[in-house]
Structure 1
């Protein structure tokens, strides 16, 4: 029988193994292998969303500061056909319903109301509801003219994570980049209203004409957000 170059192993050794034996091994291996999740059924990834917002068609008349003491205004509001987006930091909004973590003691700037209210007319609970804060309307940008309002769905991306929130409050007209205590927690950002937040690297993608009701339904925001994100990335 022919051997390999070393003269030790018969070249045709595998030919002597019964076909049934190898077939069984192959079948078992296939049965044990985890089934691949079709791409269309997998959640939309941060990479997919970020690929759609690499370039900016600026719609704001100027730029925003990320904090009141920022030296320069550096953040533009950009738009695509279906969404508005900005890339900024995340300050923590603890306004609205008083809770153990959001009150005058934990946050000296605490306000007991939010610009948008729950289905029962009550202030939103920033400790329980992931929401985004948009700048109050100004000459720089008016979110209402971009098809956005309270309850509009927003995809928020940070360090590879994607979470879906709603627009729930408005902030100073010249500052952008703020989310609720609950949203920060979802993104593994320190949610403390005075010492927490993220200095940079947060992308906000607000989908036009996407208002959900009731605004406080996290499940609705998540399911609608995933649906909108799939359309946004072309799935």
Structure 2
């Protein structure tokens, strides 16, 4: 769930490549170094480093060396350096073959920040540069005094960057997950008070503002936060497909692994049920949209059916006995109603939920009452588009739908286990398939869900036009 660190090969002051224990950085840092190195090479210089990544123990030793006088350059204790997040490097100023002020311009162009105020090559830390990434937002947050438990905004930024890689920061506690959640919330624009490693009322309110269940296990919450961060700051998670940067030397100044290009494919069990639908996926029109729980695939098939591969979270709306039974988001009504105005019962009717606004579905020819096929672990069942949900969520279904997939969510005591299923649940919605005559009562609707769903899916799987 944490931000990745990638290996990098780059020349060092030690007569060869930077030692492997130091040669690690975040994907966006790697891209910034690559671009800056190319600009330096074009100007006749070289980017040669003395330091980059430091583990907790390495940072502790550097701090002790500073305290005892073994080194003169300042090194903060663990938790206070961007080196620990793979977001800082120290360079050989002489190898640049240019004025420091000129390198500052190159650095700024690629998102690299000095830690001194003026470009003086004789100043302490003139050699140090950070790639702040989204953690610069934490710096700004503390600079605006929205939090006050760190002496300086820089310290808060460093703590945020470190904990986001899954490394503990002592002042945030032994478990980096809570700090990661809080850091993510700040970077996603929420106000939580202090970044302190404690999920207090302000943090929980911020989670609810993003429609993330604040009562869920921390690992589940962190996964939801991570997906939002990946969508908001993709450069911090994914490496561009570049093989090697050659800088006029017999060996490249640095190289890095190529990010694998991933092509979507449903699971083997689901593919066996989908049949020829699998072949339609290569021509699907992909829908690019950010959700709290990002689907593995979302798109429109060539025959205009909506295809979704995602988790399936629980929706209990319309369940007459649902109030106070474990789903705090329960509502008495559903968007789709019977002819007499009553709502669908989530405990008896298998329905799927699609996001608001209404135009999200209607612009794709989909309307409340349309039918759907749902597949999980090779098991096929059918549903109706019966409810609308938040615009930043997709992949929700009723109690009965989960039950039909073999996932019972009603406990023996009558309360719900408020958790979904998946990932790997495929939902296919058939646009324009609903019929008002099927919604006279529950029995009629249930019969239509099965008969129409089975007919539509069989037709689609045979690659015949949907009637």
Name the TM-score, length of structure 1 as normaliser. Answer: 0.69
Residue of structure 1 in register with 2:14 after alignment: none
Aligned: 1:94 with 2:316: yes
Separation in structure 2 between the aligned mates of residue 232 and residue 156 of structure 1, nearest angstrom: 13
Aligned: 1:230 with 2:458: yes
Deviation at 1:104, TM superposition (A): 2.1
Aligned: 1:114 with 2:334: yes
Check 1:75–1:142 CA distance in 2 against 1; reply closer, same or farther (3 A cut). Answer: farther
Check 1:56–1:106 CA distance in 2 against 1; reply closer, same or farther (3 A cut). Answer: farther
Separation in structure 2 between the aligned mates of residue 48 and residue 171 of structure 1, nearest angstrom: 30
Deviation at 1:48, TM superposition (A): 1.9
Residue aligned with 1:200, SS: strand
Separation in structure 2 between the aligned mates of residue 136 and residue 49 of structure 1, nearest angstrom: 31
C-alpha contact 2:274 2:461 (8 A) present in aligned 1: no
Aligned: 1:220 with 2:448: yes
Deviation at 1:75, TM superposition (A): 4.9
Separation in structure 2 between the aligned mates of residue 224 and residue 82 of structure 1, nearest angstrom: 17
1:66-105 matches, within 5 Å, as 66=293, 73-80=294-301, 81-99=303-321, 102-105=322-325
Aligned: 1:184 with 2:184: no
Separation in structure 2 between the aligned mates of residue 83 and residue 54 of structure 1, nearest angstrom: 11
Q: More strand per residue: 1 or 2?
A: 1
5+ residue gaps in structure 2? 1-271, 411-415
1:31-46 matches, within 5 Å, as 46=273
Deviation at 1:54, TM superposition (A): 3.8
Residue of structure 2 in register with 1:25 after alignment: none
Aligned: 1:58 with 2:279: no
Name the TM-score, length of structure 2 as normaliser. Answer: 0.36
Residue of structure 2 in register with 1:172 after alignment: 390
RMSD: 2.3
Write out per-residue CA displacement over residues 16-44 of structure 1, whole angstroms, 9 at most, x where no aligned residue. xxxxxxxxxxxxxxxxxxxxxxxxxxxxx
C-alpha contact 1:52 1:233 (8 A) present in aligned 2: no
List structure 1 segments (4+ residues) > 6 angstroms apart after TM superposition.
Answer: none
Deviation at 1:167, TM superposition (A): 0.2
Residue of structure 2 in register with 1:31 after alignment: none
Separation in structure 1 between the aligned mates of residue 310 and residue 318 of structure 2, nearest angstrom: 23
Separation in structure 1 between the aligned mates of residue 279 and residue 332 of structure 2, nearest angstrom: 37
Name whichever of 194-203 and 117-126 sits farther off: 194-203
Separation in structure 2 between the aligned mates of residue 94 and residue 154 of structure 1, nearest angstrom: 18
Separation in structure 2 between the aligned mates of residue 59 and residue 119 of structure 1, nearest angstrom: 35
C-alpha contact 1:153 1:212 (8 A) present in aligned 2: no
Separation in structure 2 between the aligned mates of residue 119 and residue 220 of structure 1, nearest angstrom: 15
Residue of structure 2 in register with 1:160 after alignment: 378
Aligned length: 181
Check 1:128–1:49 CA distance in 2 against 1; reply closer, same or farther (3 A cut). Answer: farther
Separation in structure 2 between the aligned mates of residue 135 and residue 231 of structure 1, nearest angstrom: 27
* Higher Cα Rg, which structure: 2
Residue aligned with 1:205, SS: strand
1:7-46 matches, within 5 Å, as 46=273
Separation in structure 2 between the aligned mates of residue 56 and residue 163 of structure 1, nearest angstrom: 25
5+ residue gaps in structure 1? 1-44, 67-72
